[in-house]
Amino acid sequence: MIPIARPEISKQAKERVLEVLDSGMLAAGKYVKEFEEKFSDFIGAIYGTATSNGTTALDIALKAAGVGEGDLVLTTPFTFIASSNAILYSGARPVFVDVDRNTFNIDPEQIRAKLEKNPEISALLIVHLYGLACDMEEIMKLVREYELTLIEDCAQAHGAEYAGRKVGTSGDAAIFSFYPTKNMTTGEGGMVLTSDEEINKRAHLLVDHGQSERYYHDILGYNYRMTDIAAVIGLDQLERISEFNRKRCENAAYFIQELSDLEWLETPFVPENCLHVYHQFTVKVEERDRFAEYLKENGIGYGIHYPVPVYRQPVYQKRGYQGLELPVTEELSRKVISLPVHPSLTRAEKEEIVRVIRSFL
């Protein structure tokens, strides 16, 4: 089986983990601080707050940016459920709008239409899906025009760029995930980035029980800290992320070249001003379920992200989203399937993936 993901943990990272274990200082410490600083520098933000995972980073980013009880937050329904769940954690309410058929990202035209109808919306949470940046030029026009708080979910977009600028540097706050399948990993882990000093201060308080100093608690906080064990893995991965992304782009270019002539399969669309880092190589197929079964039978790993729009999940149906239907999201949820694109793919594996796909139908 050629897997959909294959995390690469170096010998050096394993040795550093053992050093931390032997030190006895396992919780958040000097390596977490170093990782916060170096990852912030890599993306281009001033401040970083490391967290236990991407979901806790979302929770912290929204709360630190001031999103709270009763607020309305525009977001995408075509993503992992954690993005909108974090809005609920803050006591706010997600407002879903449709996505662009080509990029799979939230559609600025739909954002504008919803804002015109509902001026009470105060925040926007965008997701740079599958490694491709949202249309930041149009989104930032709307953010300024409607004075929106902007949170960027970059969980799948480490190093992705729009017009030469890395995602995660345009909003009030941004989050990244370091889950094992991401472009870089810490095992589990997350990061909140911001260039706003006050948001950074609140984020650091929130992840550590609201402590400004040990045993002095200024606000209600959480235990969302990253460990030094995770941070040393992250530091090693950060040294390799540019190479990881280069290989992902190289693999994606190979698949596009070899598969783009197939009429029944649509390869990823990439706007000219974007650097796609291919967290997933996601294609559209009319007979998705039959194709998925065929891949499985032929030893090719795949992922279906995401077969059910967020608003159709039972937890959201119970919260009043029963009548919502967004046509592009509905279409994509039936058609998209992701193929292996990770940097560990060998030439032989890439050729086998192409051979199997071209033999379908």
Fold assignment, 241-359: Aspartate Aminotransferase, domain 1 (3.90.1150)
Residue ranges of the chain whose pLDDT lies below 50: none
**pLDDT at residue 28, as a whole number:** 75
- Listed by start position, the domains of the chain span 11-236, 241-359
**pLDDT at residue 27, as a whole number:** 79
Contact status, residue 179 vs residue 185, Cβ threshold 8 Å: yes
Q: Does domain 11-236 have CATH number 3.40.640.10?
A: yes
The tens digit of pLDDT for each residue in 214-238 reads: 999 999 999 999 999 999 999 999 9
**pLDDT at residue 25, as a whole number:** 79
Percent of the chain with pLDDT over 70: 100
Contact status, residue 41 vs residue 61, Cβ threshold 8 Å: no
**pLDDT at residue 334, as a whole number:** 98
pTM: 0.97
**pLDDT at residue 361, as a whole number:** 86
